[in-house]
Structure 1
Amino acid sequence: MATAPTKLITVDEFEQMSFEGPCDLVDGEIVEQPMPGGIHGGVCVNIAFLLKLWVRDAAEEFWIGSNDVYILIETDPDRVRGADVMAIRKSRIEGGRLPLGTLRVPPDLCVEVTSPTDRWTGIHEKVAEYIRIGVKEVWVADVSERQVHVYRENRAPFILTIGDELRSDEVLPGFTCPVEEIFAGV
């Protein structure tokens, strides 16, 4: 006996649902993510805090979002990802405000922070998706190695370690911070 095909969920339906924990919408299906843990949250807070400090003096206004901003990757079937941290110029968003639902404009920056259950194949898939939709820069904060992997559109990725300075002059003009500040206190 044949089984009925799974009904694919749209981004609009996804926005109306509530979930017990983090999840993504991948090709119309909900993919639950394990809870990432305290160190992950601490690094996300550090990065969002450093970006918010920078925004106060930035020449252009940006929105900084952490953990709860869903980003539309593609439609039909729909794919939505939740970046751990993101930054987007306010001028690129209709009305200059973040939407209540899914962000349908690619951010300028997406940040992923590794969790104990993450696999690099999955991380690289998300990085490739972000770059493909027009995200200019992606950082992956590797908690276990205390490194930041930097991916930029049409450039070779590189890795920064403790003692290095993270700069993002093209995407976040004037932003700079020591890598150790990303992992401070965790």
Structure 2
Amino acid sequence: PDFVIELRSPSDHLKTIQKKMKEYQENGTRLGWLIDPQTKTVEIYRPNQEVEILENPSTLSGENILPQFTLNLEHIW
């Protein structure tokens, strides 16, 4: 897929989900969000870039993959 979202649950191991996100990226995913409500962080995965980590963001943008899409995170935190 061009875009994926993973929402970490309390029973998920972070390293396992991060590995899955890298696999998505290696297989052509253009934008990935790993949302961790426990730490209020979001890891953003893009091709050929380092993972960007946001702390307590209020929204996320779909960028050029999902133009005009914004995810409001205020209700998740």
TM-score over 0.5 for the pair = yes
SS in 1 for 2:15: helix
Structure with larger RCO (C-alpha < 8 A, sep 6+): 2
Query: Among 155, 162, 170, which residue is 2:56 paired with?
Result: 162
What are the Cα deviations for residues 46-105 of structure 1, in whole angstroms up to 9, with x where unaligned? xxxxxxxxxxxxxxxxxxxxxxxxxxxxxxxxxxxxxxxxxxxxxxxxxxxxxxxxxxxx
Give the TM-score of the pair, scaled to structure 2.
0.80
Unaligned 5+ segments in structure 1 are 1-106
Query: Among 113, 118, 125, which residue is 2:7 paired with?
Result: 113
Asked which structure has the greater CA Rg, the reply is: 1
Percent identity at matched positions?
32
Q: Is the 8 A contact 1:147 1:179 kept in 2?
A: no
How many residue pairs were aligned?
77
- Greater strand share, structure number: 2
Unaligned 5+ segments in structure 2 are none
- Greater helix share, structure number: 1
* Structure 2 CA distance for aligned equivalents of residues 180 and 167 of structure 1: 14
Cα RMSD, aligned residues only: 1.9
Partner of 1:131: 25
